[in-house]
């Protein structure tokens, strides 16, 4: 018999979920989208993904070393940020820009707030927002998927918004449309999303609220003026919506704490997205819809506090 036993406060058993397994889960869930991006854009996709991931990891490590903090590359969060950033970049973006985006994402999006768990904004989206401001042309230049000569083209949103052309929905669904690396194939993103739900890595409330809002709000405007406003299914299958709804609007760090708060977050993101798409100067608004809602999360948390048991 043992002389010494472990002494800790209760509870003495623990569920299986942990931060590392959650990050790993997100990475697994991104595999279909990554595979699709490599299928559609070949070497360009690989280059961008590798560069973005390496830059994210290096920035995290250097930042933590300089600040004499423990280097936490193994938690997987910088890897996730690097991957997500690559997936929201246009395939023809110069690699140097991708590096810069990843550095900004980790340094200004995450580490400057204190690292994992303390950031306000989704780091990958901070990186992308920065690039959109610094490389406005490169960030809005799109190439045809599967065409090895980089012929520039417009995204489905661009075609709709500026030329009134609708892209067939099945094409959107399977993914042979131009756009950023990860957004070309809806089915690949949905596969990843299904995995995340199944493993309970993400809460369904935000994506659902986001989806419903975009679908309903988009549907109403479409009914009012079908030639000017796109069909609701188009709104949810096109562009970065699924990528944002499944992988970015569900980032636990930058979304509300309470269930009610998560509904509000999804609803608010949906409204902002539709407003930008329909009336804004940009064809796409997923990034800003999420970043803007990230900003109001503390406020949402404050006004959606849970009702303690036994309090009226």
Binding-site ranges for other proteins (CB under 8 A): 1-2, 5-15, 17-22, 75, 115-118, 203, 252-253, 255-259, 305-311
Residue with Cβ nearer other proteins (39 or 113):
113
Contact 79, 27 (CB under 8 A): yes
Residue with Cβ nearer other proteins (37 or 254):
254
Cα(286)–Cα(272) distance, integer angstroms? 8
Strand partners, 193: none
Report the nearest approach of other proteins to the CB of residue 271 (Å). Answer: 23
Report the nearest approach of other proteins to the CB of residue 126 (Å). Answer: 17
Q: Are strands 152-153 and 142-143 parallel, antiparallel or unpaired?
A: antiparallel
Residue with Cβ nearer other proteins (209 or 230):
209
Contact 181, 36 (CB under 8 A): no
Contact 300, 264 (CB under 8 A): yes
Report the nearest approach of other proteins to the CB of residue 16 (Å). Answer: 9
Contact 12, 156 (CB under 8 A): no
**How far, CA to CA in Å, does 293 sit from each of 9, 116, 262, 306, 309?**
38, 19, 11, 20, 29
Residue with Cβ nearer other proteins (152 or 306):
306
Report the nearest approach of other proteins to the CB of residue 264 (Å). Answer: 14
Residue with Cβ nearer other proteins (18 or 152):
18
**Cβ atoms within 10 Å, residue 79:** 20
Residue with Cβ nearer other proteins (11 or 281):
11
Residue with Cβ nearer other proteins (1 or 137):
1
**Cβ atoms within 10 Å, residue 80:** 23
Cα(238)–Cα(284) distance, integer angstroms? 9
Contact 155, 142 (CB under 8 A): yes
Cα(291)–Cα(93) distance, integer angstroms? 22
Report the nearest approach of other proteins to the CB of residue 1 (Å). Answer: 5
Report the nearest approach of other proteins to the CB of residue 260 (Å). Answer: 11
Cα(56)–Cα(48) distance, integer angstroms? 12
Report the nearest approach of other proteins to the CB of residue 108 (Å). Answer: 18
Cα(146)–Cα(140) distance, integer angstroms? 18
């Amino acid at each position: 018999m043992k002389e010494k036993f472990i002494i800790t406060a209760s509870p003495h058993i623990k569920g299986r979920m942990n931060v590392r397994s959650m990050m790993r889960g997100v990475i697994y869930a991104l595999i279909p989208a990554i595979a699709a991006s490599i299928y559609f854009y070949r070497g360009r996709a690989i280059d961008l993904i590798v560069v973005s991931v390496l830059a994210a990891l290096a920035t995290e490590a250097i930042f933590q070393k300089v600040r004499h903090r423990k280097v936490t590359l193994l938690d997987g969060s910088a890897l996730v940020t690097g991957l997500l950033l690559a997936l929201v970049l246009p395939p023809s973006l110069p690699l140097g820009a991708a590096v810069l985006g990843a550095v900004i994402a980790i340094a200004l999006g995450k580490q400057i707030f204190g690292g994992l768990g303390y950031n306000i904004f989704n780091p990958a989206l901070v990186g992308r927002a920065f690039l959109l401001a610094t490389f406005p042309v490169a960030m809005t230049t799109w190439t045809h998927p599967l065409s090895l000569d980089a012929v520039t083209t417009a995204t489905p949103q661009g075609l709709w918004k500026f030329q009134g052309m609708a892209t067939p929905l099945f094409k959107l669904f399977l993914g042979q449309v131009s756009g950023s690396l990860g957004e070309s194939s809806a089915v690949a993103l949905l596969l990843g999303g299904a995995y995340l739900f199944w493993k309970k890595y993400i809460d369904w409330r935000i994506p659902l609220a986001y989806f419903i809002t975009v679908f309903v709000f988009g549907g109403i405007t479409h009914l009012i003026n079908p030639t000017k406003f796109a069909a609701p299914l188009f709104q949810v299958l096109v562009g970065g919506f699924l990528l944002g709804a499944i992988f970015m609007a569900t980032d636990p760090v930058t979304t509300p704490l309470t269930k009610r708060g998560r509904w509000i977050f999804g609803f608010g993101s949906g409204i902002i997205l539709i407003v930008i798409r329909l009336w804004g100067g940009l064809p796409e608004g997923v990034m800003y819809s999420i970043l803007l809602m990230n900003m109001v999360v503390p406020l949402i948390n404050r006004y959606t506090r849970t009702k303690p048991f036994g309090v009226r």
